[in-house]
Amino acid sequence: MGHTPAVMTQSVRTFSEREFYLGEFRGRSIGIAWPADVSVSERAEVEPLVDVIQELTANGSRVVLLSPSHTLFSAVGISAATEASDSGFAPALWRDLRDRGCGGLLIAEERFEEECRRIALTLRLAKVVWVQSLPPVERLGDAARVSVIDLAHLEPLLARNAGEDESLTQRRVRPGCAAILAAIRDMIEGGIPSVNVCAPGQLAEELFTYAGAGTFFTRDRYAEVRPLAIDDYDFANDLIERGEVDGFLAPRDQQARDSVLAHGVGVFIEGRYLAGIGAILPHTGANAAELVSLFALTRYVGEGAGAQIVRYAIEESRAAGLDYLFSCTTSERVEGFFERHGFERVDPSQVPADKWDAYDPERRAHVRCLRINLVD
């Protein structure tokens, strides 16, 4: 005898950046390394750390605080930190994490980088956040932040720091930071998925926002472009909303948004970090497709996420036997981006007529149509 499934209603909610990252961190142990040279003399300097620890532990994450500072442990409510030099430190730390969600490891100041590396690898932490007042890698002659570094780029930086000509690169190791970077390299090579470096006041922004605030270190920037899975929809929908609010993407109603999700693709760094999205909408009557909602996370702007989606869209459209691929924008900068990938500006009449069904007349007056032909 069968049964009728219960009908459930659910209120509409916005899937936030914070919610996405909290979901990723839930049930995992995260290390936060706070060296001796990062001040804890004022309450305001420690409050961002206290807030992040409270939010992570309430989320079901576990936080391991690594520091040589008794003052820091006291400020965040850790009454007795475990001595990292004790051979039995892991079980003692585990009990603190089990009971309170947060534990401290007291590390000798003179061996801080080496000990952080050893402990992170021993505990197999899911992530390490290294608190550093200034970024360990800087651009030459440019104040822009270096937001993402993989091992292939970190190794040459360390080699140049050891004596090679740094004029051959646009980046360099900030003085005094080579030991930190060497420890980060060893952590990632040893299996730690990622390490973030940021200033103390930037902890929440670095951990819980798409843009970040510091530098994200990972094994490689191997990027896989693939269709969105249903578990990617929350994140993708949130990115589309963000792009619309910020004015980068044209506003869409629910039906149009659903079409974008159904035909959406994403570029994933190391198979898990979504760096950008787009959608390849079919126009079957014209034997063509349209690339829409192309949007990269702020952290990955300049890292080629958008370009990889464009190349993927061209290859997929060509393989499907389509005559052309097109995209529309009101931005001169975006127009230039598409032209660099072989698109040419065309008159709006040179794209499918159904593109303009119910299209905003004011936007159409400023739209630029870019097209790439896929057949000889």
Question: Is the confidence at residue 148, as pLDDT, over 50?
Answer: yes
Using alpha carbons, select from 212, 216, 240 the residue that is nearest to residue 228. Answer: 240
CATH number where 229 lies: 3.40.630.30
Residue 257 makes CB contacts below 8 A (sequence gap 6+) with 237, 240
Question: Is the confidence at residue 162, as pLDDT, over 70?
Answer: no
What is the count of structural domains for the chain?
A: 2
- Residue 3 resides in a domain: no
Element (H, E) at 183: helix 178-189
Residues 126, 233 share a domain: no
User: How do strand 344-346 and strand 288-296 relate by DSSP bridges?
Assistant: unpaired
- Residue 286 resides in a domain: yes
pTM higher than the cut 0.75: no
Residues 194, 237 share a domain: no
- Token duo for residue 314: 């061209």
pLDDT band (50, 70, 90) for residue 310: very high
Burial of 138 (0-12, 13-18, 19+ CB in 10 A): buried
Residues 242, 210 share a domain: no
Q: Which of 161, 190, 218 is the last residue of a domain?
A: 218
CA 324 → CA 281, 293, 320, 349, distances in Å?
A: 12, 18, 11, 14
Name the residue type at position 343: F
Q: Could you tell me how far CA 325 lies from the centroid of its own chain?
A: 29
pLDDT band (50, 70, 90) for residue 270: low
Mean pLDDT of 243-250: 81
Mean pLDDT of 245-272: 85
CB 157 within 8 A of CB 181: yes
pLDDT digits (tens, 9 = 90+) for 25-36: 999 999 999 999
Residues 229, 211 share a domain: no
Residues 200, 271 share a domain: no
d(CA 296, CA 265): 12
Higher pLDDT pick, 247 / 200: 200
- Residue 11 resides in a domain: no
Question: Is the confidence at residue 159, as pLDDT, over 90?
Answer: no
- Token duo for residue 234: 């929350």
- The predicted pLDDT at position 296 comes to 80
Mean pLDDT of 238-266: 87
Residues 60, 205 share a domain: yes
CB 146 within 8 A of CB 208: no
- Residue 12 resides in a domain: no
- Residue 7 resides in a domain: no
d(CA 331, CA 326): 15
- The predicted pLDDT at position 222 comes to 60
Residues 190, 48 share a domain: yes
Residues 177, 119 share a domain: yes
Please tell me the total number of residues recorded for the chain in this structure: 376
- Residue 307 resides in a domain: yes
Residues 82, 126 share a domain: yes
CB 264 within 8 A of CB 299: no
Q: Please list the helix, strand and coil fractions of the chain in percent, rounded to the nearest 5, in that order.
A: 40, 25, 35
Range of the domain at 273: 223-373
Q: Which of 218, 248, 269 is the last residue of a domain?
A: 218
Q: Which of 218, 250, 270 is the last residue of a domain?
A: 218
- Residue 9 resides in a domain: no
Mean pLDDT of 215-223: 79
Residues 234, 197 share a domain: no
Residues 297, 209 share a domain: no
Beta-bridge mates of residue 149: 217
Residues 60, 106 share a domain: yes
Q: State what percent of residues in the chain have pLDDT above 90.
A: 55
- Residue 276 resides in a domain: yes
CATH number where 181 lies: 3.40.1160.10
Using alpha carbons, select from 276, 282, 293 the residue that is nearest to residue 232. Answer: 276
Beta-bridge mates of residue 325: 289, 372
> Looking at beta carbons, which pairs linking 246-254 to residues 24 or more positions away fall under 8 Å?
248/295, 248/331, 249/293, 249/295, 250/360, 250/363, 252/293
